[in-house]
Homo-oligomer: A and B are copies of this chain.
Amino acid sequence: MGMLREPLDEIQSCGLPSALEVMGERWSFMILRAAFNGLHHFEEFLGELGIARNILSNRLARLVEHGIMKREHMPDDRRKIEYRLTAKGLDLLPAMLALRQWGEKYGVGVPANPVLCDTRDGQPIAPIAIHAHDGRPLAPVELEWRNRADIGKALHAPEDDAVRPRLNVL
């Protein structure tokens, strides 16, 4: 299949376009979720997702090509191929969960099952959130964009709270 779309990356210095190059495609996240749920084979994905064979084939190939999954013949049955998440693929778990939790929060009647839990106490994980480098949770008002050059600098007097830039979306 061709690829004459606008690259979508290099638009600004930000990793988002490069992430979306693979994960922005229709079905990529659904395939990833299925993989996180323990699916490993072509026909399993096919049955679970209700996707067309050719599209699934193409998407798996792209995920493999981008190092998100790896593709291996099974030694005991050489018809079978095993698709498995790589470390790079596993690293997408927070993004996938954040998106899923958002969908659950605002979607219609989606009580979500199964739920990702802490093995230690069997309780569901916390909502994915933003934390400071030292682990403090951060609310939107405590956030601001900074140029790389200004990291760690005192840009505004602490008492001058009203003038602080913050996320300029609030």
Instruction: Please count how many residues in chain A sit with their CB below 8 Å of the partner chain's CB atoms.
Output: 98
B93 & A130 in contact (Cβ 8 Å cutoff): yes
B124 & A151 in contact (Cβ 8 Å cutoff): yes
The listed residue (B16, B84, B127, B132) touching A125 by CB distance below 8 A is B132
- Nearest chain B residue, comparing its CB with the CB of A141: B119
Identical chains bound together, number: 2
Q: Which stretch in A5-13, A57-65, A72-80 binds the other chain?
A: A5-13
Q: Does any Cβ of B come within 8 Å of A150's Cβ?
A: yes
Query: CB within 8 Å of B: which of A59-106?
Result: 67, 84-85, 88, 90-106
Q: Which 5 residue pairs spanning A and B have beta carbons closest together?
A: A15-B103, A19-B103, A15-B104, A18-B107, A95-B98
Interface set of A (CB-CB < 8 Å, partner B): 6, 8-9, 11-20, 23-24, 26, 29-30, 33, 35-38, 48-50, 67, 84-85, 88, 90-108, 110-136, 138, 140-148, 150-155, 164, 166-170
